[in-house]
Amino acid sequence: QITLKESGPTLVKPTQTLTLTCTGSGFSISSSGVGVGWIRQPPGKALEWLAVIYWDDNKRYSPSLRNRLTITKDTSKNQVVLTMTNMDPVDTATYFCAHRPTYTSTFDMWGQGTMVTVSS
Amino acid sequence: QSALTQPASVSGSPGQSITISCTGTSSDVGGYYYVSWYQQYPGTAPKLMIYEVTNRPSGISNRFSGSKSGNTASLTISGLQAEDEADYYCSAYRSMSTYVFGTGTRVTVL
């Protein structure tokens, strides 16, 4: 059974850097074809794809946010870390991580999400 | 990076069928067979309902079906039930190996 869990601060100040960790179980992020992505959702708004990292360390970022995002993985802990610099109140959102399976380009299992508020 | 376009809301009576559209471009919906649909209840994580345009994951009711024509994908819910009342999002693989989500559709069961 695949599960993912996001962790990180619930409150960050403007201009600070956000670091979120996604811990996966029931799968290995080093298995061929596997990926883990990050998606966010501001309160009452739509989902927005942020980034994805693959088993081979290939990384892709949202073009609109690529200069602020960094995604990395720690295979020994089966974790994926997302950092976002220069946080702004408009970045207030629930941040989800999700599993990209080996067989296709979709996100088949999602974490419960973690709410991040940006405020001074 | 512009989102895929969905109607803000769709409604139907129990037992009816409804269809939600998802319009993109030749660089995403029209260019690849990797269109997915997600169902989301308030305060919960999205749940995958359809992948690769037409495929249902194990455990998803066959009342949910997907299709695509050109740059527009569609999700059809047949035999509408009260439990189908939720937000629905499409997603597509986009050129440069990125992803994009739709604007979301609120489904209301009358």
What is the least distance, in Å, from the CA of B58 to any CA of chain A?
11
Q: Residue B98 and residue A62: Cβ atoms within 8 Å?
A: yes
Nearest to B23 by CA among B65, B74, B64: B74
- pLDDT tens-place string over residues A82-114: 999 999 999 999 999 999 999 889 999 999 999
CA quadruple B7, B65, B80, B16: dihedral sign: positive
CA count, 13 A, side-chain hemisphere, A34: 20
Which of the residues B40, B50, B75, B98 would you substitute to probe the A interface, choosing the one with the greatest number of A C-beta atoms within 10 Å? B98
Q: Residue B36 and residue A111: Cβ atoms within 8 Å?
A: no
What's the DSSP call for residue B4? B
Which of the residues A106, A108, A109, A110 would you substitute to probe the B interface, choosing the one with the greatest number of B C-beta atoms within 10 Å? A106
- CA dist., res. A96 & res. B32, Å (int): 24
> What pLDDT does A103 receive?
84
- pLDDT tens-place string over residues B30-85: 999 999 999 999 999 999 999 999 999 999 999 999 999 999 999 999 999 999 99
Nearest residue of B to residue A60 by CA position?
A: B98
Contact B39, B57 (CB under 8 A): no
Indicate the Cα dihedral angle B95, B6, B44, A90, nearest 10°: 70
Residues of B in contact with A112 (CB under 8 A): 44-45
- pLDDT by residue for chain A (120 residues), tens digit each? 999 999 999 999 999 999 999 999 999 999 999 999 999 999 999 999 999 999 999 999 999 999 999 999 999 999 999 999 999 999 999 999 999 999 889 999 999 999 999 999
Q: Residue B104 and residue A108: Cβ atoms within 8 Å?
A: no
Nearest to B106 by CA among B25, B9, B18: B9
Indicate the Cα dihedral angle B66, B46, A69, A27, nearest 10°: -90
Which of the residues A105, A108, A109 would you substitute to probe the B interface, choosing the one with the greatest number of B C-beta atoms within 10 Å? A105
Nearest residue, CB atoms, A113 vs list B32, B38, B45: B45
Nearest residue, CB atoms, A104 vs list B1, B52, B102: B52
